[in-house]
Amino acid sequence: MSALTFLIVALIKIAITLGVLLTVVAYTVWLERKVVGRMQNRWGPSRVGPFGLLQPLADGIKFLLKEDLTPPYVEKNIYLLAPGLALIMALTSIALVPIGPVIHLFGISTPVQITGVVDAAGQPSDINVGLLIVLGITSLGVYGIALAGWSSNSKYSLLGSLRASAQMVSYEVSLGLSLVGVLLMSSTLSLSGIVHAQQSTWFGVIPQWFLFRGQFVAFFIYMIAAFAETNRIPFDLPEAETELVAGYHTEYSAMKFAMFFMAEYANMVTVACIASVMFLGGWTGPTISFLPLAVQAFLPLVWFTAKIFFFLFLYIWIRGTLPRFRYDQLMAFGWKFLFPLALANVIVTAFFVAWRA
Amino acid sequence: MWGFRALRARAGHTAGVPYAMPQNYIPIFVFLLVAFAVAAGTLLVATIVRPRNPEKVKGMAYECGIEVQEGSRKRYTVRFYIVAILFVIFDVETIFLFPWAVQFKQLGAYGFVEMIVFLGILVLGYLWVWKKGALEWI
Amino acid sequence: MHQFLFIVFAVFCAGGAINLLVQRKTINSALSLIVVMGSLAMIYLLLGAEFVAVVQVIIYAGAIMVLYIFVIMLLNAGDEEASKGSNVAKYFGIPGLFIGGIIGIGVLLKHRPNDTPLKLGALYGPADQVGMLLFTKYLLAFEVTSVLVLIAIMGAVVLARRSDS
């Protein structure tokens, strides 16, 4: 593959992935409003289009047309930088995620993954340290929130962003530790390599996903830490509206506010992607042999979408169910329960892996 | 200990393969540029179409409807600082676990003992921090 | 291509470092330092040391700089004040810098690297190679690191607790 074809293929993949991701983000908001509405015995959005399906579009137009206030007392440059940083960091992680296997189109074969390539032998490969890059991008996402609160020069914003960043860094350690158990079994940091390590099945039925190979504690830790990372209920203290108005984006309006909003939902999608890649086998799933081959080629994408949808629904479900933590409870839970549990999981997993070898 | 020596001898051989930055990294940078363009583009479109009529009251910091009492630039509790510093320390520890986990099947029992010693020392520190009450949020 | 990228990131790195010194506001200096760390990571990446590059991003840009930003947010110290310059800097600093520069250039010229430059990425790159080296050849250094980190934990907590009471 020449350099030019490589670049064109990469650009096409980026355009499609980014378009799909932004659509998913918009419709996750719709889904959340609809599902939470039904859980609370309301209809949710129902006026704009059938089932309120055009609601995200209407919201988008509204965000564009609203007055964008930049209060005079803010640190202008950093105030402008913060939402962009939050959104870009939230979107970029998707570039590392293996969405599907190798596809062959117009004489070019390439994996459905922005950073994936096919080598001379026809084997797909991606970045060796892909997982760590995702973690790195996540850790840079803290800046968007911290800088937003600091530059706003408002008490609510500052307290909200301090809370948010302290919470994110506290749970980041447990998040990283919970993934080590999977790495012990997969022996690779490449995300597509991790998916390949989960491809086989027991008795041809039960998939050998890491969740079923003893990593359920890690999965539990990962999900809790991920909820805290994305500032979602029950860990949405940074935006606890009863105490902090809107937290770190109190002073933001119109499109800049919308960027924080999109960043939150894009982060949810990323977290769901990593969870399904690490614990639920990514795009692997049962093959359905009676379907025509052309349809079968799309099955991995269907499985992956189904897994992502499951996680997004879980987010919404929990939002409709649980109340909010208190801040001291949140910190104690992260440092005194989740962290030692994650460490114990690593040691126990290592013991079993060493014993079997 | 001859097993360990063999491991050690092999470590020198696995490295040294010419290995430049592979081309898979380039799409990430392209993606960053595209994401930046999307973010900047929406903001630019918004500046063109949105109304603009600032007022003095609109520009005040939000403080539940009352006038702003004092600036927000003050000193806040040291707890946040302790959390941040504990995060740095335990993040460093976590980073060491990644190359170990990837290479664990080759290292075998040696790797297990090595990491137990490393983690043991750190767990001591963790327990000490707990006992000192630095994990309490008062 | 590699050379072009190297120049771009090297310029970013040096520019960030200069900006860090010039800026009066602490937050701007901290942001410049993040740029420096990020560009350094990119230079590591160009050398093929991808694991080190990612660790640079996670630890330096993602963890240590968060600590800096936290301190700035918590303390809210004002802008930097210009001092009149100290005598130590005038009489020892500037000549010292001069002598140090001459020694540095001399050493570089004497121990000039071979005319055939090191092939890009001829060093230990991927995480598994780093792991193998770290847990065999440099095992002692690795274990001692844990003691170092332990001391760091104790120091941090002791200092923070004392200022609290």
Per-residue pLDDT for B17 more than 60?
no
% of chain A beyond a pLDDT of 90: 15
Confidence of residue B19 (pLDDT cuts 50, 70, 90): very low
- The contacts of residue A22 (CB under 8 Å, 6+ apart) are A262, B38
Size of interface B-C (CB pairs under 8 A): 165
Residues of A in contact with C50 (CB under 8 A): 127-129
- The whole-angstrom separation of Cα A189 and Cα A216 is 20
Query: Could you tell me if C17 and C35 are in contact, meaning their C-beta atoms sit under 8 angstroms apart?
Result: no
pLDDT(A103) > 80: no
Mean of all residue pLDDT scores within chain C: 80
Mean per-residue pLDDT for A138-163? Answer: 85
- Predicted TM-score (pTM) of the model is 0.86
Of residues A2 and A330, more confidently modeled? A330
Q: What is the CATH number of the domain that holds B49?
A: 1.20.58.1610
**pLDDT, mean of residues A257-279:** 90
pLDDT at C139: 82
pLDDT band (50, 70, 90) for residue A313: very high
Q: Which tokens go with A210? A: 């890491």
On whether the CB atoms of residues C124 and C133 are closer than 8 A, the answer is: yes
Distance CA C142, CA B109 (A): 17
Q: Which chains are adjacent to chain A, needing at least 3 Cβ pairs under 8 Å?
A: B, C
Tell me whether residues A250 and B62 touch, CB distance under 8 A.
yes
pLDDT for C11 equals 92
What per-residue confidence (pLDDT) applies to A95?
Answer: 87
Strand partners, A100: A112
Could you tell me if C31 and A80 are in contact, meaning their C-beta atoms sit under 8 angstroms apart? Answer: no
How confident is the model over A181-206, as a mean pLDDT?
83
CB contact under 8 A, A161 and C58: no
Closest listed residue to residue A127, CA positions, set B62, B27, C120, B76: B27
Chain A contact present for B7, CB below 8 A? no
| Number of neighbouring beta carbons within 10 Å of residue A279 | 27
In a domain, B109, yes or no: yes
Mutate to test the interface with B, among C157, C158, C164 (most CBs of B within 10 A): C157
Q: Which of A12, A81, A112, A184 has the most B C-beta neighbours within 10 Å, making it the best mutation to test the interface with B?
A: A184
Sorted by sequence, the CB contacts under 8 Å of residue A23 that are 6+ apart come out as none
Q: Work out the minimum CA distance from C132 to partner chain B, whole angstroms.
A: 6
Q: What is the pLDDT of residues B97-118, one digit of tens each?
A: 898 888 888 887 888 888 888 8
Of A234, C139, A5, A48, nearest in space to B118 by CA:
C139
Q: Which two tokens stand for residue A121?
A: 């032998």
> Residue A2 — φ and ψ, nearest 5°?
-75, 165
Q: Give the residue among A143, B89, B74, A223 at the shortest CA–CA distance from C146.
A: B89
Task: Quote the pLDDT of residue B106.
Answer: 82
Give the DSSP H or E segment for A197: none
Cβ contact (<8 Å) for C74 and B81?
yes
Q: Let me know: does A302 contact B108? Beta carbons within 8 Å.
A: no
Task: Give B129's strand partners.
Answer: none
Residue C23 confidence (pLDDT) above 60: yes
* Residue A138 scores a pLDDT above 80: yes
Q: What's residue B15's pLDDT? A: 41
Q: Given pLDDT bands bounded at 50, 70 and 90, which one contains residue B7? A: low
Q: In this structure, which amino acid lies at residue B20?
A: A
Angstrom distance (rounded) from CA A153 to CA A13:
40
| Domain of B120, in residue numbers | 22-132
pLDDT of residue C92: 80
So what's the pLDDT on residue A342? 92
Contact A259 B80 (CB under 8 A): no
Cβ–Cβ of C66/A146 closer than 8 Å? Answer: yes
Work out the number of other CB atoms within 10 angstroms of the CB of residue B19: 21
CATH architecture label of C1-78: Up-down Bundle (1.20)
Least confident of A56-65, A78-87, C87-96: C87-96
Complex prediction ipTM: 0.85
Cβ pair B138:A328 closer than 8 A: yes
Q: Cα(A125)–Cα(A112) distance, rounded to whole angstroms?
A: 11
Query: Residue A222's CB: how many other CB atoms inside 10 A?
Result: 26
Judge whether B1 lies within some domain: no
List phi, psi (to 5°) of B74. Answer: -135, 180
pLDDT tens per residue, range C102-156: 998 888 887 766 555 555 555 666 777 777 888 878 888 888 888 888 888 888 8
- Cα distances from A42 to residues A32, A34, A49, A322, A330, in angstroms, run 13, 9, 18, 18, 31
What 8-state DSSP symbol labels residue A101? E
- pLDDT score, position A341: 92
Matching residue, tokens 């491809």? A199
Which of left, alpha, beta for B21 (phi over 0: left; psi -120 to 50: alpha)? beta
Mean pLDDT in residue range C53-78? 84
* Torsion of the alpha carbons at A3, A4, A7 and A11, rounded to the nearest 10: -170
Residue given tokens 């963790």 in the structure block: B126
**Total count of domains within chain B:** 1
Q: What is the pLDDT of residues A298-307, one digit of tens each?
A: 888 888 899 9
Give the pairing of strands A108-112 and A100-105.
antiparallel
Question: At residue C63, does pLDDT exceed 50?
Answer: yes
Mean pLDDT, chain A, integer: 85
Do the chains contact at B26 and A10, CB–CB below 8 Å?
yes
Chain B CB contacts of A184 under 8 Å are: 101, 104
Residue B49: pLDDT over 70:
yes
Contacts of A129 in chain C (CB under 8 A): 50-51, 54, 126-127
The number of C-alpha atoms within 13 Å of A341 and in the hemisphere containing its C-beta is: 20
> What is the number of other CB atoms lying within 10 angstroms of the CB of residue B23?
15
For chain C positions 46-85, those within 8 Å of chain A (CB to CB) are 50-51, 54-55, 57-58, 61-63, 66, 69-70, 72-74
Q: Is C37 on the interface with B (CB under 8 A)?
A: no
Residues C40, C43, C44, C50: what is their CA dihedral angle, to the nearest 10 degrees?
110
Predicted local distance difference test score (pLDDT) of residue C136? 79
Residue B13 has what pLDDT?
46
Of C2, C71, C121, the CB nearest to B18: C121
Residue A180 has pLDDT above 70, yes or no: yes
Write the single-letter amino acid at B28.
Answer: I
Touching subunits for chain C (3+ Cβ pairs under 8 A): A, B
CA dist., res. A315 & res. A28, Å (int): 10
Find the distance separating the first CA and the last CA of chain A, reported in whole Å: 40
Residues of A whose CB is below 8 A from B116: 347
Tell me the per-residue pLDDT of A36-58, one tens digit each, with 9 for 90 and over: 888 888 888 888 888 888 888 88
Peptide bond into A71 cis (omega under 30): no
Higher pLDDT, A102 or C165: A102
